[in-house]
Structure 1
Amino acid sequence: MALAMQIFEKSLPEFVRKWYRFGLDSKTSYHRQLTPRVTKLQESGVKLGRRSSHQFWDIKFNKGVLEIPSLWIQDSTKSILLNLAAFEQCHLDINEAAIASYLVFMECLIKSPEDVSYLNRHGIVQHLLGDDTKVVDMFKSVANEMLTDAHSNRYAKLGDELNTYFCQRKNRCRASLLRNYFNNPWVIISLVAAFFLLLLTVTQTVYTVWPFYRSAP
């Protein structure tokens, strides 16, 4: 049986043999890093911004800001991405495959139409599909065709940094405070007014008590 498997493997083209061995390697972690979706990252205080880059896979994360280049999606985008990923499989090592890693990373970020809408408002994902759900389905479909090592692919370090930031309680508390109390200008005005009212009350109390304090023997 072992000899038959060796003969079968040698009969495969080199790029197919490389991916075939990758799938059989028990030491290789399959399939993707578990990066929280966009709306969850937002709850932990992660800010998203559009990155100025001609390479749509050039994603950066620094000081709580995740920068992603803009991507236009239309009916032919799925076929183009799959063909680019197939080209990578023929010429690059698995962990160097930028397109495959990008598709898996984006699929982790985009789990619902709300995620697509948020990315759309920030100019990161623009599409002509007519429905945000179709964007979710597209990334899910193409990502399922990819094979990446979660511990050593292109975005492994970035995914770890995002998860670390996401899990820090102080970031969640700060984001919740800003979202619930400082997101509305009327709330800010109310807080400032309450502070001045408290300051005036304390001042009045001091001036009321001070004469009695000085007249005391």
Structure 2
Amino acid sequence: MPGYVYGLRWEVALTGPIEAIASQAASRSAMEGEGNHHVIDIWKVDEERLASMLKNISQDPKLLSKTAGKKSCCIFRAPTSLADVNGKVYQPRIASIGPYHLAQPRLNMIQEHKWRYLGSLLSRTHVQGLGLEDYLKAIAPVESEARDCYSESIPLNSHDFIEMMVLDGCFILELFRKVGRLVPFEPDDPLVTMSWILPSLYRDFLKVENQIPYFILERLYELSKLPPEDSTPTLSSLALQFFNNSTQRPDEVIARFPRLKGKHLLDLVRCSFIPNPDREKKRVPTPTHVIYCVSKLRSAGIKITRRERDSFLDVTFRHGVIEMPTITIDDFMSSFLLNCEAFEQCYNGCSMDITTYVTLLDCLINTHRDVEYLCDRNIIENHFGTDGEVAHFINGAGKEVAFDIDMCYLSQLFNDVHRYYRSGLHVQWASFKYTYFDTPWSFISALAAFVLLVLTVAQTYFTAVQTFSS
């Protein structure tokens, strides 16, 4: 079959020398016979051009690495389908972490600060006899493991790759310590005196394309601890406290994750939001892949109310009421949701909880009126822009994503809402109330129509009585 030959041709081209390709091409053309000359044409390759192509393949850092399909691979570029919809939200704004955006001129400002922070850390740990060489030696044994975490081939030699891991990792840890007040900021440090920088770093450290493996951070954190720091927070607690300057969760919620681990910082923070991560996963067949928007649910008598919970993902439905915790939509949360969604689309070793939640919001919100209703119910805190801008963001976030709705954590909720929406007389009664009694003006109009109808009937009655009595 031509398609089969075409696929086989590429398998050979990528794995064998050019002479082997030519030899197999000749033998295959003989086997296929004269009648299938179009198959033979596929195998006619210019050896010089093919050699050039193979060389480019081996040097192109954007090609998938050999470990891209393994569970160890957890750091990806955002899929083109998502990047086309959501723009540059997956790329760092001011700080490059890891290899994907290394050496971009627009990120040079923070690159200089990385060396300053590394110098600050080394001067503090020098009393323990630790120098830069010790940090490099600590990462060298796990270089191969770290490379396997990236979905693309990294065109850096061993020394440069390890140096990048140490420089970026120490910068992150030193910033965690400074923001956590374990280490004081230097006087006039622009990273804290310029109010726009830290919020940008909160977002940049949680970009799907801007990560280094979490085990690298753990190694560097343990190595850089001084004796007085033995009782300091764990790395996960320190990291979650750092990002809590944007997530604004109660301290007791953060305190529940002293030993939480992730594949990287984005995954760590993502996991801290997932309720019941060890829940049993079971397939729940759903009759439909959507539920209706807020206005249609209200017309069917389904209410949406605020619910106090630790995570905005903890959504429930019972007795005709969808209960949702408050979520703040701002620059940080919009970036976080989209990057978690991109990570879940790429990494098959994690749940799809963020993707499922975003899909739920996309179902509930069609227009700015739906956002307005959710804001009035304190389910959405809008720090993003107008209600229309929030609706546009949510609708964009729900595009080009894939997940198994029968296996998602909200599959039962989708089922129950759909069943309630389609059931019986209470829906018709709710629709009547929504149409005629939802606002004071609709109520007044309905009341006026009713009074007019009563008066008309009364007038007709008395006219008929007078006519028959005379």
Corresponding residue of 2:306: 50
Aligned counterparts, 1:131-170, within 5 A: 131-170=386-425
Which ranges of structure 2 fall in alignment gaps of 5 or more residues? 1-6, 16-63, 80-284, 455-470
d(CA) in 2 for partners of 1:40, 1:180 = 11
d(CA) in 2 for partners of 1:61, 1:181 = 26
DSSP-derived class of the 1:66 partner: strand
Corresponding residue of 2:324: 68
Corresponding residue of 1:211: none
Contact in 2 for aligned 1:50/1:68 (Cα 8 Å):
yes
What residue identity is the alignment partner of 1:67? E
Structure with the largest fraction of strand: 1
Contact in 1 for aligned 2:298/2:434 (Cα 8 Å):
no
Identify if the C-alpha distance between structure 1 residues 55 and 174 changes in structure 2 by more than 3 Å, giving closer, same or farther: same
Contact in 2 for aligned 1:33/1:156 (Cα 8 Å):
no
DSSP-derived class of the 1:14 partner: coil
Aligned counterparts, 1:20-31, within 5 A: none
Identify if the C-alpha distance between structure 1 residues 181 and 80 changes in structure 2 by more than 3 Å, giving closer, same or farther: closer
d(CA) in 2 for partners of 1:45, 1:66 = 11
Corresponding residue of 2:294: 38
Say which of 93, 108, 113 aligns to 2:363.
108
TM (norm. structure 2) is 0.33
Which ranges of structure 1 fall in alignment gaps of 5 or more residues? 21-28, 195-217
Contact in 2 for aligned 1:165/1:171 (Cα 8 Å):
no
Corresponding residue of 1:209: none
- Give the drift of 1:10: 5.8
Corresponding residue of 1:213: none
What residue identity is the alignment partner of 1:85? E
Say which one has the larger Rg.
2
- Give the drift of 1:178: 3.2
DSSP-derived class of the 1:149 partner: coil
What residue identity is the alignment partner of 1:109? L
d(CA) in 2 for partners of 1:86, 1:66 = 27
Contact in 1 for aligned 2:368/2:387 (Cα 8 Å):
yes
Provide the aligned C-alpha RMSD in A. Answer: 3.5
d(CA) in 1 for partners of 2:393, 2:434 = 31
| In the alignment, structure 1 residue 84 sits paired with structure 2 residue 354 | no
d(CA) in 1 for partners of 2:335, 2:292 = 26
After superposition, the C-alpha distances for 1:104-144 in whole angstroms (9 at most, x for unaligned) are: 11111111111101111111011123311111111122222
| In the alignment, structure 1 residue 172 sits paired with structure 2 residue 427 | yes
What residue identity is the alignment partner of 1:137? H
Contact in 2 for aligned 1:58/1:68 (Cα 8 Å):
yes
d(CA) in 1 for partners of 2:437, 2:371 = 25
- Give the drift of 1:180: 5.1
Compare relative contact order (CA 8 Å, sep 6+) and give the higher one, 1 or 2.
1
TM (norm. structure 1) is 0.68
What residue identity is the alignment partner of 1:173? Q
d(CA) in 1 for partners of 2:315, 2:353 = 11
Aligned residues: 177
After superposition, the C-alpha distances for 1:153-209 in whole angstroms (9 at most, x for unaligned) are: 12111111111111124132221343356666875xx99xx9xxxxxxxxxxxxxxx
Comparing 104-113 and 171-180, the one that deviates more: 171-180
d(CA) in 2 for partners of 1:71, 1:41 = 20
